[in-house]
Amino acid sequence: MLEKISTGVEGLDRLTGGGFLLGSAYIIQGPPGAGKTLLANQFCFAHVRSGGRALYMSLLAESSARMLNYISQMAFFDTQAVPESMQYISAYGVLEREGLPGLLKLVQHELRRFGATAMVLDGTFVAQSVASEQEFRAFIHALQGVAGVANAVLVMLTHQNRDSSSPEHTMVDGWIEMRDEMFGYRSYQSIQVRKHRGAGIIRGKHRIRITEHGVAVFPRIESCISHAPSDEALADRVSVGLSELDRLLEGGLPYQSATLLLGPTGSGKTTLGMHFLSTASVEAPGLMLGFYETPARLLMKARSLNIDLDRLVEQGALTLMWLPPADILPDEIAMAVVRQAKASGAKRIFIDGLIPLRDNLVDSERMPYFVNALSLNLREIGATVVYTSETKEISIDDAVMPSDELSSMVDNVLLVSTGHRGPASKRSLSVIKLRDGGFYPLMQEFHIGDKGLMFGSENVVPHNARPG
């Protein structure tokens, strides 16, 4: 059985199927500023925390004191670890004077001298620049042998963008690429495990975030689904908090289902979501993720509609999460929602606004699979989830389901359409799709008044209506 040690980054451990293999050599490649040095240091400090010893050897002309000064500001830095269990040394002089044979000897000597089981060789491209292709290939091969004999993990950092057929990539046990790309005016940092011996790796690009805690890796949520959730009690129904709509849905939304609520701006989607959350309890808590209204504004809005969310928040039966809609990492948010839902045992979850998630995915083709994976994760913990998504104005008179790629990925679809009766505007709700249902297939008019959302075709929207 091959033994693995943590990379020091939870998300990267997932991508690599558990971490780095002991006795192996890895390359981490990426342009300057991509986070290689940070990641390598995180790995070293995590290794030291678990009782190992780590050595950071630099081939760069850059001062290691400067790097250490910068790294010491990071949350993972452990003042007590240096120099007892973690040391920084420069091998640039040895490389300059003695070339690759001297460097190889030094690596062997230092691993043995310090008793290190994790070692970083920063600036491998410098080693490459002083030797021929053949000599460099022999050096990498020998380094692998050194890592094997020492039963250590050797991580080489390089900023060179060499292709996958280059000798070092074919020879090493693992190859991780970090990127920093521009999409319009936005910068997207990502990581990809290009090669990793052993099973269980998750391929493709995954987004990262660099903070004072170091590099955080967020695996694409759809790449982490490995099994179908159980189908227990799926026949049960969950009230949406509105008896008329529950009747329309033949008892409510199917238990552990995912519902997409479509409609134009101001059509009452958030209000309906607040009704859905209003039936949360300490035993079956609720969770809301919003991007537009802050929790304070949302609670104020609920108060004005006589929907009592304050009490639920006070009781701990409702958690309100809010994020500004720009520059977010959807996979990070998905992970946070799932984590929060697990922690609070949330059974009804309202995610108000899929558009910010879609816009920040970079590759918007991911969206249906992203929503599907998030729903499966939430279903696994017994939650029923409602998403809202903006559509263009849909007239009551010709209400047809807008072409929406998400519809096939959710269990239920509700559509809000709008229109006018004389000078007054009116809204209507249609059940487009319902899992395992039987539903009343008519469009139901509703209005939003001081008791929230109310059904009835005779109702006319009052002037002081507060749309969702």
Which residues bind to another protein, rule: CB under 8 A? 57, 61-66, 68-69, 79-80, 82-84, 87-94, 96-97, 106, 109-110, 113
Given the complex with another protein, which of 71 and 338 has the nearer CB atom?
71
Nearer to another protein, 63 or 457 (CB): 63
- Exposure pattern of 98-136 as b/e (b: 16+ CB <10 Å)? eebeebbebbbebbeebebbbbbbbbbbbbbeebeeeeb
What is the amino acid identity at position 279?
Answer: T
Q: Judged by CB, which is closer to another protein: 78, or 246? A: 78
The angle formed by the CA atoms of residues 233, 238 and 240, to the nearest 5 degrees, is: 165
Residues recorded for the chain: 468
Q: Could you give the angle at which helices 295-304 and 269-278 cross, rounded to 10 degrees?
A: 80
Say whether 316 sits in a helix, a strand or coil.
coil
CA distances from 45 to 7, 72, 108, 316, 463 (A): 10, 11, 21, 37, 62
Cβ-based nearer residue to another protein, 85 or 259: 85
Q: Which is nearer to another protein, 77 or 369 (CB)?
A: 77
- Comparing CB distances to another protein, the nearer of 88 and 446 is 88
Tokens of 96: 């300059």
Contacts of 224 (CB under 8 A, 6+ apart): 14, 202, 373
Nearest distance from residue 340's CB to another protein, in Å?
39
19: Cβ contacts below 8 Å, ≥ 6 apart: 4, 5, 6, 7, 12, 13
Strand ranges, E, within 197-249: 205-211, 214-218, 237-238
CA Rg value for the chain: 28
C-beta of 68: minimal distance to another protein in Å?
A: 4
Query: Which of 87, 166 has the CB closer to another protein?
Result: 87
**Triad 162, 167, 170: Cα angle to 5°:** 95
Q: Backbone dihedral region of 425: left (phi > 0), alpha (psi from -120 to 50 degrees) or beta?
A: beta
Minimal distance, residue 80 CB to another protein, in Å: 7
Smallest separation (angstroms) from another protein to the CB of 106:
6
DSSP state of 222: G
Shorter beta-carbon distance to another protein: residue 80 or 165: 80
**Nearer CB in complex with another protein: 64/430:** 64
- Alpha carbon 176 to chain centroid, angstroms: 19
Q: Between 79 and 464, whose beta carbon lies closer to another protein? A: 79
Least distance in angstroms from the C-beta of 52 to another protein: 18
Q: Could you tell me the smallest distance in angstroms from the CB atom of residue 111 to another protein?
A: 11
Q: How far is the CB of 112 from another protein (least distance, A)?
A: 11
Considering beta carbons, is residue 41 or 271 the nearer one to another protein? 41
Instruction: Kindly state the tokens that stand for 51.
Output: 């009782």
What is the nearest approach in angstroms of another protein to the Cβ of residue 214?
A: 19
Tell me how far, at minimum, the Cβ of 149 lies from another protein, in Å: 19
- Distances in Å between the Cα of 242 and the Cα atoms of 108, 285, 311 are 71, 18, 18
Cβ 44 to another protein shortest distance, Å: 14
- Other Cβ atoms less than 10 A from the Cβ of 161: the count is 12
Q: From the CB of 8, what's the least distance to another protein, in Å?
A: 20
Residue in this structure with the two tokens 């993990």, named with its chain if needed: 153
Residue 147 or 238: the one with the smaller Cβ distance to another protein is 147
Task: Please state the φ and ψ torsions of residue 328, each to the nearest 5 degrees.
Answer: -110, 160
151: helix, coil or strand? Answer: coil
> What count of other Cβ atoms lies within 10 Å of the Cβ of residue 345?
14
CB of 104 to another protein, least distance (A): 13
